[in-house]
């Protein structure tokens, strides 16, 4: 593996140069970035997938939903449609992607849209009869064509960006110096009992700039699991063996959580946003009880109605960060003042 990475190093250098030139063009104003007459929050990361963007987006909606009419704009990764689409009650994961569908089902009163062209997407949202007052943009840290009011960068506790390298040697989409563009850096998937000394050490390694704040969050698993027609406690569900089906970037935290609960299961792991085939769906029908993630569930249910398929919701839980909401609101006020 080390020798393979060494062979890929020249390609990583080329990629590094290209991304730095592109960022420099935006930093210097040579390539203009679009601004819009509404508040915008961008959520993203430096690495490829698995940092917990969807739970963070849901947390932002919960925190700001009473204050603003919120819209969500995503590219809709994995969808089979093109251009701008506004989610509705009939939307499927094939139409808009699994993550936007999950959010629309959980927050039916907000406007959820998908468009690979984020500037066009915001423009279309502004044409709605009731346009949003604030748009949360999912996975836009590298989309420099939009100047967001607040930029939130996510990095996982176990695989921080400062220990990584640029593609294809590592998993970074751009140089780690790009983190300087963020207003807030959230370290996700931390141990729930993370100590203050551990936080201080982590912050020192991030070495934030004066305008940046650093926050820590953990995964909060629901005590209830749900199917399309039933729900039960996780303790009740775990009384019998089951099959865990995941198509996410990093299933290790969920596997570890279930093992700590003493669960007996087989694990079928697929790539992130995996499109389940008819053959795979047919196989799942003969597995008995299935547990999956919320994101995988909305994708599976778009393809077949599996009566014995349950999902376990998760939330982003901030660790000793009661001031997160007020800090976020203050940033929004500063950016539009």
Q: What pLDDT does 1 receive?
A: 52
Alpha-carbon distances, residue 239 vs 80, 264, 293 (angstroms): 38, 9, 19
Mean pLDDT by 10 residues, the chain (337 residues): 70 93 95 94 92 95 95 92 95 92 95 96 96 96 95 96 93 95 97 93 97 96 94 96 94 94 96 88 89 92 81 92 89 74
Q: What pLDDT does 75 receive?
A: 93
DSSP string, 38-98: SEEEEEEESBSS-S-HHHHHHHHHHHHTTTS-EEEEE--TT-S--S-EE--TT--HHHH-H
Domain ranges of the chain: 2-68+133-220+318-336, 223-312
CATH of span 2-68+133-220+318-336: 3.40.50
Q: What pLDDT does 8 receive?
A: 86
CATH of span 223-312: 3.40.190
Q: What pLDDT does 49 receive?
A: 78
What's the rounded Cα separation, in Å, for the pair 266 and 41?
Answer: 39
What's the rounded Cα separation, in Å, for the pair 169 and 185?
Answer: 24
Q: What pLDDT does 3 receive?
A: 59
What's the rounded Cα separation, in Å, for the pair 27 and 181?
Answer: 10
Instruction: Go through the chain and tell me how many residues it has.
Output: 337
What residues form DSSP beta bridges with 146?
34
């Amino acid at each position: 593996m080390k020798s393979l990475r060494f062979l890929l190093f020249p390609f990583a250098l080329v990629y590094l140069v290209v991304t730095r030139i592109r960022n420099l063009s935006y930093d210097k104003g040579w390539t203009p970035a679009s601004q819009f007459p509404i508040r915008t929050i961008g959520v993203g990361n430096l690495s490829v997938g698995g940092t917990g963007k969807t739970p963070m987006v849901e947390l932002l909606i919960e925190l700001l939903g009473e204050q603003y009419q919120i819209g969500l704009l995503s590219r809709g990764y994995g969808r089979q449609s093109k251009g701008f689409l506004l989610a509705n009650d009939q939307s499927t994961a094939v139409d808009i992607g699994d993550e936007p569908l999950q959010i629309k089902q959980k927050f039916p009163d907000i406007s959820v849209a998908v468009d690979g062209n984020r500037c066009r997407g915001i423009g279309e949202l502004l044409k709605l009869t009731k346009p949003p007052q604030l748009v949360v943009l999912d996975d836009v840290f590298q989309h420099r064509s939009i100047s967001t009011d607040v930029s939130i960068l996510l990095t996982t506790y176990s695989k921080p960006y400062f220990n990584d390298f640029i593609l294809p040697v590592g998993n970074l989409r751009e140089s780690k110096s790009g983190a300087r563009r963020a207003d807030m850096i959230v370290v996700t998937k931390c141990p729930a009992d993370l100590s203050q000394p551990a936080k201080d050490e982590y912050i020192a390694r991030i070495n934030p700039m004066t305008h940046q704040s650093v926050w820590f969050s953990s995964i909060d698993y629901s005590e209830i699991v749900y199917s399309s027609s039933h729900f039960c406690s996780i303790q009740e569900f775990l009384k019998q063996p089951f099959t865990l089906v995941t198509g996410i970037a990093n299933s290790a935290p969920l596997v570890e959580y279930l093992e700590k609960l003493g669960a007996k299961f087989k694990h079928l792991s697929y790539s992130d946003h995996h499109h389940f085939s008819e053959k795979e769906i047919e196989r799942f029908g003969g597995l008995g009880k299935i547990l999956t993630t919320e994101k995988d569930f909305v994708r599976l249910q778009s393809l077949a109605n599996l009566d014995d398929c349950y999902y376990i919701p998760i939330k982003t839980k901030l660790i000793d960060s009661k001031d997160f909401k007020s800090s976020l609101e203050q940033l929004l006020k500063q950016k539009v003042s």
